[in-house]
A and B are shown apart, each in its own frame.
Chain A
């Protein structure tokens, strides 16, 4: 899977989980855990969905340290291996 494909599928899951973000353009440097209406609980929901979607397990202790969408993608790629 290319980075772009990963990005697109991740953005779709974010939009599914947080309807308030529909129509908001997300970039790799978008702050996804505090910015634009995604509170920490929504962020947890998104990470759970992403783990199920991509078959990864991101260590719990890393969750609070993920800030941008790019960092989330990095974590998925790292722990998918």
Chain B
């Protein structure tokens, strides 16, 4: 079904299958179920309260709980602008993000919210329907992408039309809702199909969530999926895994398929409200373009996306960056790919200087290197990737690893864990560069 709003989505099933389970979650150790009718009632009641409250922009620390889901849908239904926040981001950075995004009220851990009270603003005008998601791990270098509930509903429709779930399914939601892949493929995909969504209990329960909720479908990033497979945590009832937000090693996909579980791979961006192509056949790397999307390949191999129903409104308060990305009406992805002989999309790499990490976040290499160079003056350095680990290549220093770690501590402290330097690679000779001084990354990787 295609919906235009979250309330319409929940309301449709509340009217047609009112007793069908919409959410499963744990409360005080017991498994609770909330029907679509109950969820709609809760959303409407909270939306009514929010409307009376007079606030205009909610900063939501999306912990994935049942109350968080109700608050999220209620805020959008009530016409508030919604900003998705990540509690793992240092308070110092959050203090800068709140004024930038016009947040005038917060939902989340009371202690964290109290710390941020002084950074709240007087709100925003005409923010109704806008949902702001941060690219690249919610750091201060991120851009706030302006999406809408309508674009998300379209994205959920696109995914669900290629990969449908039904009311007998339970979709496991374990990923952070502050990332569009987690939000769309962990939550909206299920609800838009009338399926039940099991709300994961956070990292502490990665080891037993699948056994507790017994889902039939799971969306996961490669790192999480690898963890679940390695520790034998996939449940018997599981029949479909949707992988997204990063490259997935073939052996991992084979390990999942060997258990009789169907594996699908999704490709999309924050700017497109999540997925634009999904693999449906045996080859997880050959993807079918979603119904609303038109994808073309530029002369240099860059993937261009034309998807009016799901495309972002722009980067918040950044018209120049918006014009660069979608000025022509088509999104320049920075990804490289081609259509194979069957007309299926295959991704071959990245055009931009960007590392896509195993946890799905992206590391902008020039920014990271500039920051590290300030902390290690005189050191010839470059950031590279070894498997899932970010490696700092260095030349021209006799500092020990411990001294290097101490020197780059400000960088480490300001980054999500997956973006932190995991080890050092020492080079006897200057790092390979082009005539204009740019690192020859392919050569560096080869030497490493």
Contact B223 A40 (CB under 8 A): yes
B residues in contact with A31, CB < 8 Å: 405, 412
Contacts of B88 in A (CB 8 A): 61, 63-65
**A45: interface (CB < 8 Å):** yes
* Chain A 36-49: CB-based contact to B (< 8 A → 1; otherwise 0): 11011111110110
Does B422 contact A51, Cβ atoms closer than 8 Å?
Answer: no
Q: List chain A residues, Cβ under 8 A from B413.
A: 67
Nearest-neighbour CB distance to chain A for B415, whole angstroms, equals 10
Bound-complex Cα distance A51 to B203 (A): 13
- Number of chain A interface residues as a range: 20 to 34
**Assuming the A-B contacts A40-B417, A43-B417, A61-B109, are A35 and B422 also in contact, with contact meaning beta carbons closer than 8 angstroms in the complex?**
yes
B421 at interface by CB-CB < 8 Å = yes
Is residue A4 contacting chain B, with contact meaning CB distance below 8 A?
no
Would you call A39 and B204 a contact (CB within 8 A)? no
Q: CB-CB < 8 A to B224: which residues of A?
A: 41
B117 contacts the other chain (CB 8 A): no
Nearest CB in chain A to that of B409: its residue = A67
**What CA separation (Å) do A22 and B180 show in the bound complex?**
38
Q: Which of B386-434 contact A (CB under 8 A)?
A: 388-390, 402, 405, 412-413, 416-418, 420-423
Report the minimal beta-carbon distance from A63 to chain B, rounded to whole angstroms.
Answer: 6
For window 201-231 of B, CB contacts with A under 8 Å fall at 202-204, 206-207, 223-224, 226-227, 231
Indicate if B359 sits at the interface (CB-CB under 8 A): yes
Asked if residues A39 and B423 are in contact (CB atoms below 8 Å), the reply is no
Flag if B202 contacts A34 (CB, 8 Å). no
The yes or no answer to A29 lying at the interface (CB within 8 A) is: yes
* A73→B389 CA distance, assembly (Å): 24
Which residues from A are CB-within-8-Å of B207? Answer: 45, 48
Contact flag A44-B405 (CB < 8 Å), given A35-B422, A61-B109, A61-B112? no
**Counting CB contacts under 8 A, is B87 at the interface?**
yes
User: Nearest CB to that of B203 among chain A residues?
Assistant: A44
Q: How far is the CA of A44 from the CA of B203 in the complex (A)?
A: 7
Contacts of A41 in B (CB 8 A): 206, 223-224, 226-227
> A33-B417, A34-B422, A64-B417 known; A39 and B405 CB under 8 Å?
no
| Closest Cβ–Cβ distance, residue A56 to chain B (whole Å) | 12
Contact between A60 and B402, CB atoms less than 8 A apart: no
Q: Is the CB of B202 within 8 A of A60?
A: yes
* Shortest beta-carbon distance from A17 to chain B in Å: 10
A43 to B413, CA, bound (A): 17
Closest Cβ–Cβ distance, residue A38 to chain B (whole Å): 9
Number of A-B residue pairs with CB-CB distance less than 8 Å in the complex they form: 62
Please measure, in the bound complex, the distance between the C-alpha atom of A68 and the C-alpha atom of B138, giving whole angstroms: 23
**What residue of chain B has the Cβ atom nearest to residue A59's Cβ?**
B109
Q: How many residues of B contact A (CB 8 A)?
A: 32
Nearest chain B CB to A51 CB, angstrom units:
7
Beyond A31-B405, A34-B389, is A51–B204 a contact (Cβ under 8 Å)?
A: yes
Q: Cβ of B421: which chain A residues have Cβ within 8 Å of it?
A: 34
Contact A39 B389 (CB under 8 A): yes
- State whether the Cβ of B80 lies closer than 8 Å to any Cβ in chain A: no
B208: nearest residue on chain A (CB-CB)?
A: A48
Q: Is B358 an interface residue (CB 8 A)?
A: yes
Q: How far is it, in angstroms, between the C-alpha of A68 and the C-alpha of B243 when the chains are bound?
A: 31
Known: A44-B203, A44-B206, A45-B207. 16 other contacts (CB 8 A): A31-B405, A33-B417, A34-B422, A35-B423, A36-B423, A40-B223, A40-B417, A40-B418, A41-B206, A60-B63, A60-B87, A61-B87, A61-B112, A63-B88, A65-B88, A67-B412
B residues touching A (Cβ–Cβ < 8 Å)? 63, 87-88, 90, 109, 112, 202-204, 206-207, 223-224, 226-227, 231, 358-359, 388-390, 402, 405, 412-413, 416-418, 420-423
Nearest 3 A/B pairs, CB to CB: A64-B88, A41-B227, A34-B422
What are 28 A-B interface contacts by the 8 Å CB criterion?
A29-B402, A33-B417, A34-B389, A34-B420, A34-B421, A36-B423, A37-B389, A40-B359, A40-B417, A41-B206, A41-B227, A43-B417, A44-B203, A44-B204, A44-B206, A45-B231, A47-B203, A48-B204, A60-B63, A60-B87, A60-B203, A60-B204, A61-B88, A61-B109, A63-B88, A64-B88, A64-B416, A65-B90
